[in-house]
Amino acid sequence: MIAENIAFGVLAASAVLAALRLVTTKNVVHAALYLVVVLASVGANYILLAAEFVAVVQLLVYVGAIVVIFLFGVMLTRAQIGHESELDNDQRGIALVTALFLLGILSYVLIDFFQDDKLPELTGVSKATLQATRGTGAVGDAIFSTYLVPFEVVSVLLLAALVGAIVLARRD
């Protein structure tokens, strides 16, 4: 249990530091790479929660697809690679006040809603029962039975975006 807490602390700290660097860097490519670190840390936290399927989907969809599309967009717009001083607009004070305001509202709402609620005890529930109702197999059954049509629509949409990006890139 202590090793899991330490691993969570390391992953959370790396995600927070990479997120801060993501929004403060002046290099667009470095921002994309910091985004990879943030999303990979979130995926690793899913592994700590024993949600392997969600972790793999996080890595494949977000780290694999979204970041590649982001970098593809950077290449297509012919953004300068390297240090760019025009990416900063001197509104850090307003951004800090807004972030603290949103943090306060979110904290208040979460504390007000959950108050003294505690997680239910899982004594008497076997690991096999949990895996049958909440495991990777249950998620796969839900995706490929209940949510088959939305799953296929998203796959066609991503394929169309990929073909469109290739067509735009090959125009040169």
CB atoms within 10 A of CB 43: 21
Question: To the nearest 5 percent, what fractions of the chain are helix, strand and coil?
Answer: 80, 0, 20
* Cβ atoms of residues 100 and 93 within 8 Å: no
Q: 83: left (phi > 0), else alpha (psi -120 to 50), else beta?
A: beta
Looking at domain 1-113, which CATH architecture does it have? Up-down Bundle (1.20)
Give pLDDT tens digits along the chain (172 positions): 688 889 999 999 999 999 999 888 877 778 888 988 999 999 999 988 888 888 888 888 888 777 777 777 777 766 566 566 665 677 888 988 999 999 999 999 999 988 877 766 767 777 677 666 667 777 777 777 888 888 888 888 878 887 887 777 666 5
CA gap 58, 53 in Å, rounded: 8
Which of 65, 67, 2 has the alpha carbon at shortest distance from 37? 67
* Cβ atoms of residues 3 and 64 within 8 Å: no
* Per-domain boundaries in the chain: 1-113, 125-172
